[in-house]
Amino acid sequence: MSDIKLEGLCFKYDDSDYILDNLNLEIKEGEFVCFIGPSGCGKSTLLTLIEGLNKPTKGSVLIDGVPVTGPGGDRCVVFQHYSLFSWQTSKKNITFGVKQAKKGISSKEADAIALNYLAKVGLAEYANKYPHQLSGGMQQRVAIARALAMDPDILLMDEPFGAIDAKNRMQLQDLVLELCENEEKKRTVVFITHDVEEALYLADRVIYMEPKRIKEEIPIDFGSGRVRANLFGAPRFLQLRNHLITLFYDNADENMGSEPVYL
């Protein structure tokens, strides 16, 4: 089970102004939800609250009705910067995560899981390579493989392709979409991005945030088996893309000259 609820969620640091103010939202089990909005609107802060790295100032984050009080094995994060151990091979980076998530698992079993997920992300032949021997896109594939190998119910992705070139970014988007659709386990995915087309391509629902709050929820009705070449020129895709871009421009106009906000 992996239903997420935000109930009156507020967060601030010490005596600062609220970064998030009275967020109410439900993310259903198995749903792929993208949060999008201008820099500083609180997207990444929200992810830390779902992960349990920060605690709400007011309100709560609930997973299957239970308040989040800290990090848990039911959640795993993929960051923008690959967060691999430089002294460990691709396989060992994954087996480390597997052993942390599955206490008591044998090294043989952990190795088998790692090799299985390296194959799924197209890196079976790079199992014994170190991060410095891999491109940025390949390192992020290893990070995604590690997250999935840990078998979380909830996958939290914080701008995971933000540091990747355009070609590799598209390949990684396709990879995540394929893995989320074809894995036996249907995971709940919370994905942070600034990229409008990325959000529309991946999500079941897009949540547009402005500073402190959710401005709009947009259901995405493209279904599964999405094909980029067909989708990006479709009238409905272009309509939603233009709507989201308009939200960005409206927000920029409203915040000209405003005080700084937080990530």
Mean pLDDT value of segment 12-24: 91
Q: Can you give the CATH number for the domain in which 208 is found? A: 3.40.50.300
Average pLDDT of the segment spanning 218-225: 89
Per the structure, how many domains does the chain have? 1
Question: Per the domain annotation, does 177 fall within a domain?
Answer: no
Residue 253 has pLDDT above 70, yes or no: no
Q: Per-residue pLDDT for 260 more than 80?
A: no
| Predicted confidence (pLDDT) per residue in 127-137, tens digit | 999 999 999 88
The pLDDT score that the predictor gives to residue 261 is: 35
Answer yes or no: is 113 within a domain. no
pLDDT tens by residue, 57-76? 999 999 999 999 999 889 99
pLDDT of res. 56: 95
Q: Tell whether 48 is covered by a domain.
A: yes
Question: Between these two residues, 164 and 49, which has the higher pLDDT value?
Answer: 49
Say if 117 falls within a structural domain: no
The answer to the question of residue 219 being in a domain is yes
Look up the domain containing 228 and give its range: 1-68+196-256
Question: Is residue 176 situated within a structural domain?
Answer: no
Helices 136-149/90-101 angle, 10° precision: 30
Summarize pLDDT for 98-118 with one digit per residue, the tens: 999 888 899 999 999 999 999
| Residue-wise DSSP of 19-74 | SEEEEEEEE-TT-EEEEE-STTBSHHHHHHHHHTSS--SEEEEEETTEE--S--TT
The Cα 139–Cα 32 span in angstroms is: 23
Residue 109, domain member (yes or no): no
Tell me the pLDDT band of 183, cut-offs 50, 70 and 90: confident
Domain contains 37: yes
Non-local (6+) Cβ contacts of 193 within 8 A are 34, 35, 36, 159, 161, 162, 199
